[in-house]
């Protein structure tokens, strides 16, 4: 009678190991001055593994490694990266750690367009320490005869009244891609707000900096 539970435990343990070793979506692109390798974290479990618990819903984490060509120097600027979705046309630039988990909240204005008609949605998206990402009621939306696109058109940082730094903020500050001049490989994470559930096959990471224009598509391991 004791052999059955032991056997089940061994099988379950093996499954957990396989899950833990599951590869993540990866992509890369190369130019004359720079090579970029990237890994995408989309689901809750992989994001928690990458940055720790407490990350808000709707944040896509992309870890990048920048490899300058021999003799080249690169000024790393996070805003040179953009994540776009083929599925709904969303385009997002990286958030800073303090915008996600800091002692303030980020209000983002977005513009929707579709079918030749565009509407600006000024409803704020709130995030930060202790709060969830979500649009405030009465924000309106896009309209038109075809599928629309959404794009952030402005952001305002506002005090939330909470000054204590969270463990998540400390983790994000440690792991975010540093902004500095490099001549050797450097790596770090980028954090993008993407509304709705995104599939990795629809995502494209764009880089426009240092005289390079690179595009990265992520391949889902089989």
User: DSSP assignment of 7-59, as one string?
Assistant: HHHHHHHHHHHHHHTPPPPEEEEE-SSEEEEEEEE-SHHHHHHHH-TTPPTTE
Please say whether the beta carbons of 155 and 143 come within 8 A: no
pLDDT of res. 28: 98
User: Number of folded domains in the chain?
Assistant: 1
Q: Is residue 191 part of a domain?
A: yes
Tell me which residue has tokens 């920048």: 66
CA torsion angle 184 185 186 191 (round to 10): 140
- Provide, rounded to the nearest whole percent, the portion of the chain with pLDDT above 90: 52
**Helix H or strand E segment including 100:** helix 97-101
How far is residue 181 from each of residues 20, 74, 177, 205, measured CA to CA in Å? 35, 5, 12, 21
Residue 108's domain comprises 23-217
State pLDDT tens for residues 43-89. Answer: 999 999 999 888 888 999 999 999 999 999 999 999 999 999 999 99
Is 9 part of any domain? Answer: no
**Is 13 a domain residue?**
no
Give CA–CA dist 129/131, Å, rounded: 6
Q: Has residue 44 been placed in a domain?
A: yes
Question: pLDDT class for 25, splitting at 50, 70, 90?
Answer: very high
What is the number of other CB atoms lying within 10 angstroms of the CB of residue 46? 16
- What's the DSSP call for residue 175? H
Give the residue carrying structure tokens 């939306």. 141
* pLDDT score at 104: 55
| pLDDT at residue 108 is higher than 60 | no
Res 175 pLDDT > 50: yes
Does the residue 7 lie in any domain?
no
Binning pLDDT at 50, 70 and 90, where does residue 187 land? very high
The residue among 136, 191, 148 whose CA lies nearest residue 168 is 191
């Amino acid at each position: 009678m004791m052999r059955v539970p032991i056997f089940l435990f061994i099988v379950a343990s093996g499954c957990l190991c396989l899950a833990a070793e599951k590869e993540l979506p990866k992509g890369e692109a190369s130019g004359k001055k720079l090579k970029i390798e990237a890994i995408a974290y989309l689901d809750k479990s992989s994001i928690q593994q990458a940055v720790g618990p407490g990350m808000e819903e709707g944040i896509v984490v992309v870890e990048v490694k920048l490899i300058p060509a021999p003799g080249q120097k690169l000024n790393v600027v996070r805003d040179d990266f953009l994540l776009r979705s083929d599925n709904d046309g969303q385009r997002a630039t990286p958030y800073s750690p303090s915008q996600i988990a800091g002692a303030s909240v980020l209000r983002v204005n977005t513009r929707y367009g579709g079918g030749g008609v565009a509407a600006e949605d000024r409803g704020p998206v709130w995030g930060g320490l202790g709060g969830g990402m979500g649009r405030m009621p009465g924000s309106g939306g896009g309209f038109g005869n075809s599928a629309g696109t959404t794009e952030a058109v402005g952001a305002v940082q506002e005090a939330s009244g909470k000054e204590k730094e969270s463990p998540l903020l400390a983790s994000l500050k440690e792991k975010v891609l540093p902004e500095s001049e490099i001549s050797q490989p450097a790596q770090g994470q980028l954090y993008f707000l993407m509304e709705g559930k995104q599939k990795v096959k629809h995502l494209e990471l764009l880089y426009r900096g240092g005289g390079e224009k690179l595009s990265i598509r992520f391949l889902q391991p089989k």
